[in-house]
Amino acid sequence: MANTNNPATMWNAPNYVGPLYQLGANQTPFLNMIGGLQGGRVARVNSMEFPVAQPWALEAASQPVITETDSLAAPTAWTYVRARDVNTCQIFQKAISVSYVKQSVSGVVEGFTTTNQTMLGDQPVSNEKDFQIAAAMKQIAVDVEYSFLNGSYQLATSAAVAAKTGGIVPACATCTVAGGSGYLTKAMIDELLREMAMAGAAFANPVMFVNAFQKQRLSDLFGYAPEDRNVGGMNIKQIETDFTMLGIVWAPKMVTTKVLIADLSVCRPVFCSVPDKGDLFYEDLAKVGASEKGQIYGQIGLDFGPEEYHGSITGLLDA
């Protein structure tokens, strides 16, 4: 059934028999692995904009040449200058509306007037309002996942400008490899890991996030056929590299032409909490007519830490 902004009624939200399947790719592995929306490793701020790192650099390494005479006087001071990398929370908001009639016929199965559990099975939705709230929460979760991976940073400069949290893939400015409209190769991965190592990446908890096409490409690159007449195929979940053991995760919301290596040890969701309401909350809205209305609201952003800890490969073939 297509999405609609109209209230859920008995006509556009029919009840079906059997297990309830949430259609579509609803997996949110990146969000889940860095803390999720319901606790875990999260941060709370009192401003929509927040710092993610204070990058600074050492001088180029060299052998000092200091005589005893020179050492009698203090050398010229060198100041290590810190910069400031920031991101922003953005608004995530979904409204629900369920008619009184729809709430009254939750036991009516499409095409029947009663639910016969013996013949027809259990009706999976017994409370339409609860179902609409749960579905809206799932939609927010996949929207957060997409934004955390691919979001384009934009700071709200007025009430008429939407704040947009910056995603981790676009944030990879220091360590990125151009795919050149070619297929993903081991050489590209090696080059990216080398760039990350030279940039000072910690490799504390690195994970490669890929879409379905690039996941199969990785299996082709690093897999081998098992010597068993009864087993075929391969599913690469980890790669041993020169710098780290690299986990592989299929992330449906990754752009198909890109690959991400993220150090999850420095990533976490950020909430700009609403006083007396919380981080991500549901509240009823004013009644208008014969329906119950409400909204889910949250101000959420991504803290990805030092962008030098992450890397991306872009411009890949995906077909």
Question: What is the distance between the alpha carbons of residues 1 and 166, in angstroms, rounded to a whole number?
Answer: 32
Cα(163)–Cα(89) distance, rounded to whole angstroms? 7
Q: What is the domain range of residue 89? A: 29-54+85-99+127-316
Asked, for residue 46, whether it belongs to a domain, the answer is: yes
Count how many domains the chain has: 1
For 260, phi and psi rounded to 5 degrees?
A: -120, 135
Phi and psi dihedrals of 174, rounded to 5? -80, -45
* pLDDT at position 21 over 90: no
> What's the pTM value of the predicted model, to 2 decimals?
0.85
Cβ 128 vs Cβ 264: under 8 Å: no
In a domain, residue 17? The reply is no
Residue 230: its pLDDT value, please? Answer: 52
The verdict on residue 77 lying in a domain is: no
Residue 144 lies in a domain: yes
Assign 20 a pLDDT band (cuts: 50, 70, 90): very low
Give pLDDT, residue 7.
82
Residue 200 CB burial class (10 angstroms; 0-12, 13-18, ≥19): middle
Residue 19 pLDDT greater than 50, yes or no: no
Residues 12 and 1 sit within 8 Å (Cβ to Cβ): yes
pLDDT band of residue 4 (cuts 50, 70, 90) is low
Of 213, 212, 204, nearest to 246 (Cα)? Answer: 204
Share of the chain above pLDDT 70, in %: 83
Q: Which residue has the tokens 């379905």?
A: 212
Question: Does residue 37 register a pLDDT over 90?
Answer: no
- Residue 15 maps to a domain: no
In a domain, 159, yes or no: yes
Q: What is the pLDDT of residues 76-128, one digit of tens each?
A: 888 888 888 999 999 999 999 999 998 888 766 665 555 455 455 566 677 88
Contact 189, 118 (CB under 8 A): no
Angle, alpha carbons 209-201-258 (nearest 5°): 25
Q: Whats the size of the chain, residue-wise?
A: 319
Which one-letter DSSP state was computed for residue 278?
Answer: B
Give the span between the Cα atoms of 237 and 57, in whole angstroms. 35
Is residue 243 in a domain? Answer: yes
118 lies in a domain?
no
pLDDT tens for residues 59-87? 888 898 998 999 999 888 888 888 889 99
